[in-house]
Chain A
Amino acid sequence: MQTQTRATSQAPPFALPARYMLSGLIGFVLFAVDLVWHVIPLTEGQISNPHVIALTHLLTLGVLLTFVMGAVYQLLTVAFLIPLKTEKVGRLNFWLYLTGVVGLWGSMNTWWVLGLDIFGAVVVLGLYVYAGLILWSLSSSRVGGAMRGFVLSAHIYLILAVTVAWLLVLSFIVPGLAPWQSQLLATHIVLAAGGFFGFIILGFSYKLLPMFTLSHGYSTARQNYTQVLLHLGLWSLLAAAWFHGAIWVTVGGVLALTGFVVQVWDILDIFKKRMRKRVDLPIRVVAMAFAIAGVGMVAVVVIPWTGVGIVAWQDLITFYLLGVVALILISYAYKIVPFLVWTERYGKHVGKAKIPLMADLLNLQHSRWVYSLFGSGLLLYLVSFALLWPIGIWLGAGLLAAGVLVFGGQMFYVLDLRKLPQELRGTKSFLQGRDDTGSEL
């Protein structure tokens, strides 16, 4: 008997996305512990405290960006129907980036300026390599539309964000750059939080939400309006960073708010046209998180006219990073991580042996515990931080950390840490007695 197979496999080896995602999850657990450990400077509103800066970068670089990189390596083939140009570079870059992030986190905690320069350079290099690799891979994709625009833009904004971050680090040793520190910081935050995380999540959501809801026949006509509105909003906020005009902030906020409203409109259409009536809780939370992002943009519009100062902006950044970006990534992780594990362990055995369905790997209803703890903790933390109420900050941080720990436990359960090391090395097939091709079945 013979088969005539098609060369369709473009997915990267399991180890490439899995290493990034695993590191992001470990980083998330560390973040939860560190949040509680270093909560005192937060209760005192010391946002420039080295531990607070280190904690913020553990979240952004060690958790969110690390997980996003793994997810992008996995989703690139699905969304753009292309292979990664070179997997080896992606694999080697993992170790470079990990070294940089761990070193940078340590240097920030102790405020070791030389370490900030050295490890900051390593992180910048790692992110240049990553963004360059994705942009190079995307150059050969024939998939067009808003999704392509969002993902391309996200990686260009990432390159700009890390370049600005490097200039900010240099400003501590180059006197000529010192007067621009606050502008560079604001530019870095807008480019990284809005330009990279915002655009990458929105872009891939155009593929993931219809896929997970089995939606067909929804309109894609408004997606380009969302893209234009969010670009204009972002540029307006960048202008605000340099020209110090409240009006620029408000215009940026209004444009971004309008963009998110159109995005929510699109999501409602996707949900309306879905064929899968029972939508998993994490996917419903993704939709809700985009609406929450809109609420955040209302705050952007209002804050410049209230005179509440830097604490409000710090609270808003925390709200956006945890209440929007992290919440959406947690939710997608509930679908992406089991998919990755299932494909590695059981994918080759479909129809050949009795194997679990993807839904059997983790009961997604249990995500309710994570959302309850994480959501209530974040809300309490944000309100308490705004009021500088120490007990509320303590309790909020504790609840939030508990939610992250439960989430980490669920993900490690799916990943099954006993099997994972061998799978990451590519040395063992999970189903005993069968080789990697499953040919003995």
Chain B
Amino acid sequence: MINLKQIREALQDVYDPELGVNVVELGLVYDISEPAEGDLLIRMTMTTPGCPMHDNISESVEWAVLQVVGVSSVKVDVVWDPPWSPEMMSEEAKLKLGMG
């Protein structure tokens, strides 16, 4: 059984390099599940379709969660529905972007 709290902590090391905010605080991670023992499925999005950081961020998400004990495989599913909106950001992220 994968500790999903540890997964979320691991994802906090993956930053959007343009905004300087991690993917969890940005609200890009929609869902984390373990469909089979040791297999991780992450549904996430980007701030905009065609985001130039698409590949870097999704590959880094894969790498980060593979470091967590118990994860044997990971699939990152980048989805556009629902589209990301700024309301999905955490209060901390909003403050960092000057929206507070």
Contacts and interface: CB of A to CB of B under 8 A. Distances in A.
A210 B73 CA distance: 35
A120 B100 CA distance: 56
B86 A216 contact: yes
A365 interface: no
Given A350-B57, A352-B63, A358-B17, A3 B74 contact: yes
A8 B78 contact: yes
A350 B72 contact: no
17 contacts: A1-B72, A3-B76, A4-B73, A4-B74, A5-B59, A8-B55, A8-B58, A11-B55, A214-B86, A214-B97, A276-B97, A277-B97, A343-B52, A343-B53, A350-B60, A358-B17, A359-B20
Interface stretch (A74-82, A290-298, A394-402): A74-82
Contacts of A278: 97-98
Nearest to A438: B63
Given A5-B62, A211-B48, A277-B99, A350 B75 contact: no
Contacts of A2: 72-73
Interface string B58-92: 11111110100001111111100000011001000
B48 A275 contact: no
The 8 closest A-B pairs by CB, nearest first: A277-B98, A350-B60, A351-B60, A351-B14, A275-B86, A347-B56, A4-B75, A351-B64
B59 A210 contact: no
Nearest to A211: B48
Interface of B: 13-15, 17-20, 47-64, 66, 71-78, 85-86, 89, 97-99
Nearest to B52: A78
A1 B40 CA distance: 11
Given A79-B50, A346-B17, A347-B55, 11 more contacts: A1-B66, A4-B73, A5-B59, A5-B62, A6-B58, A81-B49, A216-B85, A276-B97, A277-B98, A350-B60, A358-B17
Nearest to A355: B17
Interface string A52-91: 0000000000000000000000000111110000000000
Interface of A: 1-6, 8-9, 11, 77-81, 143, 207, 210-211, 214, 216-217, 275-278, 339, 342-343, 346-348, 350-352, 355, 357-359
Contact of A3 (B17, B66, B78): B66
B66 to A, nearest CB: 5
Q: Which of A207, A210, A351 has its CB near the most chain B CB atoms (within 10 A)?
A: A351
A81 B63 contact: no
A351 B13 contact: yes
Contacts of A359: 18, 20
